[in-house]
Every structure is written in structure tokens, then in C-alpha cells.
Amino acid sequence: MNQIYYSPQPELSEPKHFLKLALLDLKISKPIAWQLFRKNFISQYRQNFLGYLWIFLPPLATALIWIFLFYSKIIYLGSTEIPYPIYVLTGVFLWQTFTESVTCPLQQLLFSKHLITKFKIPHEALVIAGLGAILFNLLARLIILFLGLFYFQVGLGWNLLLAPIGLAVLILTGISIGVLLTPLGMLYQDILNGIGIVLNALFFLTPIIYPIPQNGAISRMVSLNPLTPIINSNRNWLTGGELMPDLSFFIVVSVSIIVFFSSWLFYRLAKPYIIERISS
């Protein structure tokens, strides 16, 4: 029988052992995550009359509203190199994937609070299960997008092969932000509510429904937005645009990787205190 020893020593007193346990939990999380993904996926859509259509309806509704405003000339959003419906559809789909990635860690752990307080289950398994749902939703939306590309006769190029890399970076950026906010979000519901408010405001400072303005204060704000190179690069690779991303793209990638791993390890340090607080 395996024995578990508890020590009053801080976990970082033995960094190698701390990292070894983190990697071990990550390894054993995969089969658990698959079972959780299947269970959550089936139960989530079985309780809805429209079922799997909810994967498409929210982003499609948002895209159609802006397409209507654009073609009815109620607002002028600037000219785009590709047909505007494809431009906004791509942007909204990418944005939906990003927002799901940001909220995934906190939502998954809050939803499974009863599990993590009663059973010794790797928290990474819960996040990976949520990541599986994000990937499924993304693939489903990409099918709609490619049908739109075919309808509007938007040519695809070899840069489409870079799209998986760009989409992985998009999800990584969102997940890293989500993991960073999770320790505090597990203790205070205000964090999850605040994420929604911030994301709604950030939507209008990201080139989702309009190209970057040529000048003015908005132009500078959008250009400084770290999500701008991620969204633009993914849009270019999915629709046959420019091949080479800006330098800012690689900066965001580097920062996201650092934030993700440091936030993950910090969460593992804070995990015992979080479980103690939410259990009381």
C-alpha cells in the first residue's frame, strides 16, 4: 500500500519534488479529463432543446448584427481586404474562442467545487476537460467559417498550414490569463463577474469587427492591445492574408508561455489554502 506523508515544510523547500509532483498530476490528468469531458459534454447539450446549435448561435448572432449595421450604413467601420462578412465572422469566432479560454480554468474549478473539496483529483484534469470543449467548439465553428469562405470565394493559401499554430497561441493566451486569475477567483465571485465586464469592453478595442484605424487615439489603443497581433495573424492565416506576423506576435507568445507556467505553479502552491477556504 502506498503511504502519503505530510510535512510542515513549505512545498518549495524541495523545488525538484514540487515540479515532479506537478508533472505527475499533469500525466494522470489525461484519462480523467477525457471522462469528465464526455460526461460534461453530453449533459450540457442534452438539457437544451437546440442542443449543439448553441455552439454556433451566440457568435453567429453577434456577427449578423454587425454585418447588418455595416451594410445598412448605420455605422461605418472602414474597408477590409476581404469581404466584410468573412472579416467579422472570423473575428467573432476567434474572439469567442479567446473568451472561452479565459473563463475556462475558473469556471471548470468553480463548477467542480464539490469534487475538489471531497476527493483528491488533479485540478489540471478539470481544466483539460474544459480545454477539450473549447477545441470541439472551435472545430465546429471553423466548419461554418470555411463554408463562408467558399461562398464568398475567398482563396486560401499555404499560410493556412500556420493556422493551427495561431489558434494554439490564441488559446494559450486566454488560458494563461484564466489561470492567473483563478486563485483569487476561487475565493471571490467578483473576479468572474469582472472578467465578463472587461472582456465586453476589450471587444471594442480589438480588431474584431473593424480594421485598425489609420490614426487617432483609438488607433493607438488598438495597436497597443496585445490581442491585436494574435487576432490579425489568425485571420490572415485562415483567409489567405499576409504570411509573416508582426514582432508583437512573438512577444505576446513569449509572455503567454511565461505567464502560463508561472501561474500554474503558483496555483499549485495556493491550492491547499484555496481548498481550505472554500470548504469552510
pLDDT 10s digits, 11-30: 555 667 778 777 887 788 88
**Could you give the percent of the chain with pLDDT greater than 90?**
34
Q: What is the pLDDT of residues 199-209, one digit of tens each?
A: 999 999 999 98
Residue 187 has pLDDT above 90, yes or no: no
The pLDDT assigned to 242 comes to 83
Q: How far apart are the first and last CA of the chain?
A: 31
Angle of helix 84-111 relative to helix 123-151, nearest 10 degrees? 170
Q: Is 141 exposed, middle or buried (0-12, 13-18, 19+ CB in 10 A)?
A: buried
Helices (H) then strands (E): counts for the chain: 10, 0
Average pLDDT over residues 221-229: 92
Q: What are phi and psi of 75, to 5 degrees?
A: -135, 155
Phi, psi of 227 (to 5 degrees): -80, -20
pTM (two decimals):
0.87
Dihedral, 258, 254, 174, 15 alpha carbons, nearest 10: -10
User: What is d(CA 147, CA 141) in angstroms, rounded to the nearest whole number?
Assistant: 10
Distance CA 179, CA 229 (A): 22
pLDDT at 5: 44
DSSP sequence for 151-170: HTT----GGGGGHHHHHHHH
Confidence bin at 4 (pLDDT 50/70/90) = very low
pLDDT for the residue 275: 85
Instruction: Reply yes or no on whether the pLDDT at 9 is more than 70.
Output: no
Q: For 26-84, write each residue's pLDDT tens digit.
A: 788 888 888 888 877 766 666 655 556 667 677 778 788 888 877 787 777 777 888 98
Residue 14's pLDDT is 63
Could you please report the per-residue DSSP string of 212-254?
PPSSSHHHHHHHH-THHHHHHHHHHHHHT--SSPPHHHHHHHH
